[in-house]
Amino acid sequence: MGLFGSKSKTLVGLDIGSSAVKLCELQAVGKGSGRRYRLQKLGIAAVPPDAIVDGDIMDGNAVASAIRQVMTEQKIKARDVAISVSGQQVMVKKVTFPLMSPAELAESVRWEAESFFPAGQGLDSYALDYAVLDERPTEGSMDVVLVACRKDKLEAYTSCVAQAGASAVLVDVDVFALQNAYEVNTAPGGSDEVVALVNLGAHFTNLSMIVGRKSVFWRDVPWGGHRFTDKLMEDWGVSREAAEQLKMGNNAEGRTPDEVAPSLAAISDSFADELSRTIDFFRSSFKVDRLDRILLAGGSSKVPGLTDVLADRLRVSVDRLNPFLLVELDDRSVDPSAAREIGCAASVAVGLALRQVGDR
């Protein structure tokens, strides 16, 4: 299976995360520049702890059960879905090649990919795909994004989808889906505006750097929202379920969000350090001397006080990405309160639902 698909068809977006499966179905309204989207279905189902660890599926039956649950609850008739992957077994790289024919590019990509994989691993172990980002005839060059994912990881995810009675006809990457959700919900900014899209998941943070509406840098950082949960369990002796409630700003097991705020602030500081290092690496590598704003997505982005800590430490505007800002809600099939509750945690699912097989 190619990572980008092969034929044109609207799909159901299915974000299989370490803590939950999120589902989104959109309907396109209008054509061309006037096209907009209407939210038809939106749902979420919890994934048991340790069913997915560091992006790897450890309990396929539990994951398939969560997929089946959310599809049943939302009465999804379509069987074709788009899913995405991330983590240490997924690699994304932008490469500049001389202008060349499609056949020449395909061969050049294979040669380039050989230096892409860890020592002792090669094309036999990975699924590889690529897409042309930009062609510059006057310069005689072209930018190409290469994506590779271990075949066993792809098989694990697609097998869970099949076990749930659906078909993963397109496999995307979290950072690309995140960018899709951003683009459809954001009015064009300045030609050189620099934006960091940050998807804070349970075990990984996906970072996409946007310069003038173009994504130029992608990174999966092994830092996730489970660290908030673990800290609360350690400091306050609460259960995992209570810690999850507390980090979302709810009372649990006799503790209040205000009471545990110092623990949350300590982990927020740690995340600010990690994010700052990664953004500094991007700025030095790409000779970008500023950052205009950060947009947070993912369930853990709703941790109380996190946006304030990041804004203070990184000296930049920090907001949460609203994946439904410019998306109409069909209130006959979607509860507006559910859309508000899931909020930025649905960003990747929305980005996947915008995809059609065959997109590049």
Same domain, 9 and 157: yes
Same domain, 271 and 171: no
User: What is the chain's mean pLDDT, rounded?
Assistant: 91
Average pLDDT over residues 306-325: 96
Q: How much is the pLDDT for 332?
A: 85
Task: Give Cα separations from 120 to 86, 92, 115, 149, 222 (angstroms).
Answer: 21, 19, 11, 15, 22
Same domain, 254 and 360: no
pLDDT band at 333 (very low <50, low <70, confident <90, very high): confident
Residue 74 has pLDDT above 50, yes or no: yes
Element at 72 (helix H, strand E): helix 60-73
User: At 228, phi and psi to the nearest 5?
Assistant: -65, -45
Angle, vertex CA 225, rays to CA 220 and CA 229, nearest 5 = 155
Secondary structure (DSSP) of 155-168: HHHHHHHHHTT-EE
Is residue 2 included in any domain, yes or no?
yes
| Rounded distance between C-alpha atoms, residue 56 and residue 14, angstroms | 16
Average pLDDT over residues 178-196: 84
Is residue 200 included in any domain, yes or no?
yes
Same domain, 155 and 224: no
Element at 192 (helix H, strand E): none
Report DSSP state, residue 118: P
Report DSSP state, residue 33: G
Residue 331 has pLDDT above 60, yes or no: yes
Tokens representing residue 140 in the block: 């005689």
| Rounded distance between C-alpha atoms, residue 255 and residue 241, angstroms | 13
**Which of residues 150 and 34 earns the better pLDDT score?**
150
Q: CB-side exposure of 159: number of CA atoms within 13 Å?
A: 13
Same domain, 243 and 341: no
Is residue 111 included in any domain, yes or no?
no
Q: How much is the pLDDT for 358?
A: 63
Same domain, 60 and 2: yes
Element at 254 (helix H, strand E): none
Structural domain of residue 336, as residue ranges?
1-89+151-185+322-360
Average pLDDT over residues 63-75: 97
Is residue 145 included in any domain, yes or no?
no
Is residue 101 included in any domain, yes or no?
no
Average pLDDT over residues 152-164: 97
Q: How many domains does the chain have?
A: 2
Q: How much is the pLDDT for 55?
A: 86
pLDDT band at 248 (very low <50, low <70, confident <90, very high): very high
Q: How much is the pLDDT for 22?
A: 97
- pLDDT > 70 in the chain, percent: 95
Element at 175 (helix H, strand E): helix 174-184
pLDDT band at 187 (very low <50, low <70, confident <90, very high): confident
Same domain, 161 and 59: yes
**Which of residues 212 and 152 earns the better pLDDT score?**
152
Same domain, 44 and 173: yes
| Rounded distance between C-alpha atoms, residue 14 and residue 26, angstroms | 12
Same domain, 156 and 27: yes
Is residue 100 included in any domain, yes or no?
no
| Rounded distance between C-alpha atoms, residue 144 and residue 213, angstroms | 17
SS (H, E, C) 23-60: EEEEEEECCHHHCEEEEEEEEEEECCCCCEECCEECCH
Residue 300 has pLDDT above 80, yes or no: yes
Is residue 79 included in any domain, yes or no?
yes
| Rounded distance between C-alpha atoms, residue 171 and residue 205, angstroms | 19
Q: How much is the pLDDT for 360?
A: 55
Tokens representing residue 74 in the block: 């939302």
pLDDT tens column, 1-30? 345 444 446 799 999 999 999 999 999 888
Same domain, 349 and 275: no
CATH code of the domain in which 306 resides: 3.30.420.40
Is residue 313 included in any domain, yes or no?
yes
Average pLDDT over residues 98-127: 86
Q: How much is the pLDDT for 359?
A: 63
Same domain, 17 and 163: yes
Q: Is the pTM of this model over 0.85?
A: yes
Same domain, 210 and 304: yes
| Rounded distance between C-alpha atoms, residue 246 and residue 240, angstroms | 10
pLDDT tens column, 269-285? 999 999 999 999 999 99
pLDDT band at 330 (very low <50, low <70, confident <90, very high): confident
